[in-house]
A and B are shown apart, each in its own frame.
Chain A
Amino acid sequence: GENVEQHPSTLSVQEGDSAVIKCTYSDSASNYFPWYKQELGKRPQLIIDIRSNVGEKKDQRIAVTLNKTAKHFSLHITETQPEDSAVYFCAASMKTSYDKVIFGPGTSLSVIP
């Protein structure tokens, strides 16, 4: 079955710096890669996603890149702000699986003011 690895497990950056979180997946049939953000004490929420036919996607200060050949995908956050502090989960999915996803173990991001 699919396995998703995520690095680093913790990340501290100064406010205004960039943060990068990297994930790898094992099943080449995966074709959808969402990212969820979970603030302390709150529920996970989808922040951005990318499909296998696209190499990069941006939404304001966040971007995701996908390298299908290497089975890597990454989340990039620019100009980080304290409200970006949260746990970020990458995930991989195949549509044929009833919207089921396999999540990575998570990255705890701390943005230091």
Chain B
Amino acid sequence: DVKVTQSSRYLVKRTGEKVFLECVQDMDHENMFWYRQDPGLGLRLIYFSYDVKMKEKGDIPEGYSVSREKKERFSLILESASTNQTSMYLCASSSGAGPIYNEQFFGPGTRLTVL
């Protein structure tokens, strides 16, 4: 069974703080993703990574950065948290293998509140 874990289920931070959200997968997957989930807006891709140290911007990268120093770990960084970054953050991974699409496996999510 694929297991994707996230460092916190709930997080409360102050405006201006630097925030780290961490995601770990245990299936040797090539691809990892960070999404933001807001009511009525679905799952919006922030960044993804297709290899160690490789990353690409998604649809809403502004105000975020990412780090992938090891294959199993993908971190989302909010350099200076703002109230409009209050949201549910979901991490996902996929194997990236072969010529066909591979299912994404999601973590449990981190609900971040920025005060």
Contact = CB atoms under 8 A, between A and B. Distances in A.
Asked if A and B are interacting partners, one says yes
Interface of A: 1, 6, 9, 32, 34, 42-46, 49, 51, 89, 93, 95, 98-106
B74 interface: no
A46 B104 contact: yes
Nearest to A100: B48
Contacts of A34: 101, 103
Contacts of A32: 100-101
A40 to B, nearest CB: 12
Interface stretch (B12-20, B36-44, B63-71, B79-87): B36-44
Interface of B: 4, 30-31, 33, 40-45, 48, 50, 56, 58-59, 90, 94-96, 99-104, 106-109
B104 A98 contact: no
10 contacts: A1-B59, A46-B103, A49-B103, A89-B43, A93-B101, A95-B99, A95-B100, A98-B30, A98-B56, A100-B48
Contacts, number: 61
Residue of B44, B56, B103 contacting most chain A CB atoms (<10 Å): B103
Contacts of B45: 100, 102
A98 B103 CA distance: 11
B33 A100 contact: yes
Contacts of A100: 31, 33, 45, 48, 58
Nearest to B50: A98
B40 A105 contact: yes
A103 B99 CA distance: 21
B108 A43 contact: yes
A69 B45 CA distance: 27
Contacts of B101: 32, 34, 49, 51, 93, 95, 99
Nearest to A107: B42
A43 B43 contact: no
A89 B31 CA distance: 20
